[in-house]
Structure 1
């Protein structure tokens, strides 16, 4: 019986061919980001810091109504710490390699929507969008790079999604 990882042709992103080992720093820096940010969500300082993003988000505003400001922060912290755990396990198990990368990518896709919903992103004194404010605009822009890192890991974890994601077994068969 084939496992789900084999059916989907999943692999550990860094265990691919040739230069894919350069993905290891992406995985471990994402782990640090999710551990740090996730842990911070359990403080009042961070809960109040992210409150304006959540309150103005059509995707996440329900969290404040249902859980309150600190409760919403706790829930996000749990998701971020779970993402860190999946990314860590992904260094050893193909299914978690893809799951952690997908969770990470989903996180940054959602936070990038804050560009559209958070007041003050466009800098009016500089002519408005595409000029962005230092806070929150430039603060949010970093998530574009983190999304790129997440998608790179995800694509490398799902074999057959391009030349970069060829499993080692396939490479060995073609060179034997």
Structure 2
């Protein structure tokens, strides 16, 4: 491989994960998603767009109570941008790879609960669940794939993340 090709090759911390170039593609795709979605959370358009999901969620509704529609969106945006940052650093440090992948997986586990809590997900005219509406049902369905990508990266990261931790016998480690 030429020096130039080596410089632009996707980075991945999980060196022993078999065909790790596909993991790099998952990582950088997740980074793009979290940067884009996280950045959008700072707009009124997106804050109003996610409000029905957040307000009806037993896991997240407290954000609206505490911060209001825009504030809740800002908090979510900061978390999403932090996830993107952890995934970027994780390309070079396996511990951050595991952290970013876990944050990503948690995000999609939570958003998939919206299937149960958001009105209008099941399409009544098609017989109800499992028939899902175009909005918001089909919009949420993409999170199944994003969760799978997150879990794939997390599973590949965990053995290497443990190798990044300092040894207990290390005198520089506080106990």
Of structures 1 and 2, the one with the larger relative CO (CA 8 A, separation 6+) is 1
Q: Tell me how far apart the structure 2 counterparts of residues 115 and 69 of structure 1 sit (CA, whole Å).
A: 21
CA-based RMSD: 1.2
What is the CA-CA distance between 1:18 and the residue it aligns to?
A: 3.1
Matched, 1:84 2:72: no
Counterpart of 2:129?
129
Quote the Cα distance in structure 2 between the aligned partners of 1:123 and 1:104: 28
Q: Once the 2 structures are TM-superposed, how far is the Cα of residue 159 of structure 1 from its aligned partner?
A: 1.9
Q: Which moved more, 1:133-142 or 1:20-29?
A: 20-29
- Which residue does 1:145 correspond to in 2? 145
Cα shift readout 1:33-74 (whole Å, capped 9, x = no counterpart): 000000000000000000000000000001101000000000
Q: Unaligned stretches of 5+ in structure 1?
A: 1-10, 161-176
- 1:116 Cα deviation after fit: 0.3
Which whole-Å CA distance do the structure 2 matches of 1:18 and 1:27 have between them?
15
Judging changes above 3 Å, is the alpha-carbon distance between structure 1 residues 66 and 155 closer, same or farther for their aligned structure 2 residues? Answer: same
Once the two structures are TM-superposed, the CA of residue 22 in structure 1 deviates from its matched residue by 1.4
Distance 1:143 1:17, change over 3 A: closer
In the superposition, the TM-score normalised over structure 2's length comes to 0.83
Match of 1:22 in 2: 22
Distance 1:32 1:51 in 2: 23
Q: How many residues align?
A: 149
Q: CA deviation at 1:21?
A: 2.3
